[in-house]
Structure 1
Amino acid sequence: MQMQHWLLLAGLLIIIALAGYALTLWRRVWRTRAEQQQQQDGRDKRLAEDIQFIGQSLLNGQVPLIEGSIRIKVLLDNYAGPRRSDLDVTIFTEIYDQTAHIPTHTGWKQLSAAERKLHSRLMETLERDHQEQVKQAAGELTKGLN
């Protein structure tokens, strides 16, 4: 055999080896993507169950309206799964936006009595004005997101 034939054979072997390596890498990428999708699906399933549970708790009066609305809004923000097209949950965002400035936990304890009273009045007003909308949206959530 001539030198050109040997070089051609070596080149062909290198190409085959690189193609095999590329295929191995692509299989790893496909497997990783499938695992990530499986994790995301599991996460979305747990979030959907939590959203349904808090929606039911809101309807039963087991969680305060403001707190439940905020929790649902945050869970919905993290949920990436399918949603029914007729599901209107904008009320939770509205309540979240109107209460975002109110301190929680230690911040609440550090407020003066007058500041607490002011924030409490705001929350009472929101509860009174939006109670029916929140209960209707929570009722829809108890049926599931999709």
Structure 2
Amino acid sequence: MQLTDFTLPLLVLALLVILALSAYALYLLRRLHNRKRQIEDARRQRSRRLKESVRLIGLAMQKGHCDYSEGVIRLKMLLDPLGAKKLNAYPAMYSLYQRVMDMPTHEARRKLEKRERMRQDHLRISSEAELAEKIKLELHQLLADINGN
């Protein structure tokens, strides 16, 4: 095979194109690897923040700084995205959550008639009192679970 004056420049050009595309592919692979690492770091940081929030709410509930009803509603929202143990792994807290989850808050609560607000308050307070001892035990388990993970 004889290389003509026309063939040699085409081969050189083809090699340059192949080298340029290879370099670009390597660049894209590196960016993809870095992006995956950033996403995983963000997931770990979010998980740490969620666990810290669960820990703080659990401690506040233990010390009486947060009502059990408010605490279980907040814990439910924090535990779901963690993907580990969900609130239903703690039967007393989950039972309380089931009883109070549909109760209106803020402006919707203010719009309720006084009698209905009092009925809901009675249900909430009596549920908290009924489940208090079990919830205290479950809070210890929840905090141990969060610290262990």
TM range (shorter): 0.7 to 0.9
Residue 21 of structure 2 corresponds to which residue in structure 1? 18
AA of the residue aligned to 1:131: A
Q: CA-to-partner distance for each residue in 1:16-43, whole Å, 9 max, x for gaps?
A: 1111111111211211221222122112
- Seen in structure 2, the aligned counterparts of structure 1 residues 62 and 18 have a Cα distance that, compared at 3 Å, is same
TM-score (norm: length of structure 2):
0.81
Q: Which of the residues 3, 6, 9 maps onto 1:6?
A: 9
Residue 27 of structure 1 corresponds to which residue in structure 2? 30
Number of equivalenced pairs: 142
**Higher RCO (C-alpha under 8 Å, 6+ residues apart):** 1
Higher helix share: 2
TM-superposed CA distance for 1:44, in Å, is: 1.3
Q: Matched residues in 2 for 1:67 and 1:57: separation?
A: 11
Q: Matched residues in 1 for 2:11 and 2:94: separation?
A: 66
The alignment partner of 2:137 has SS state of: helix
TM-superposed CA distance for 1:116, in Å, is: 0.5
Residue 134 of structure 1 corresponds to which residue in structure 2? 135
The alignment partner of 1:143 has SS state of: helix
Residue ranges of structure 2 left out of the alignment (5+ in a row): none
Instruction: Report percent identity of matched pairs.
Output: 29
Q: Is the 8 A contact 2:73 2:101 kept in 1?
A: no
* Alignment root-mean-square deviation, CA: 2.3
Most deviating of 128-137 and 100-109: 128-137
Q: Matched residues in 1 for 2:25 and 2:98: separation?
A: 49
Alignment map for 1:23-62 (pairs within 5 Å): 23-62=26-65
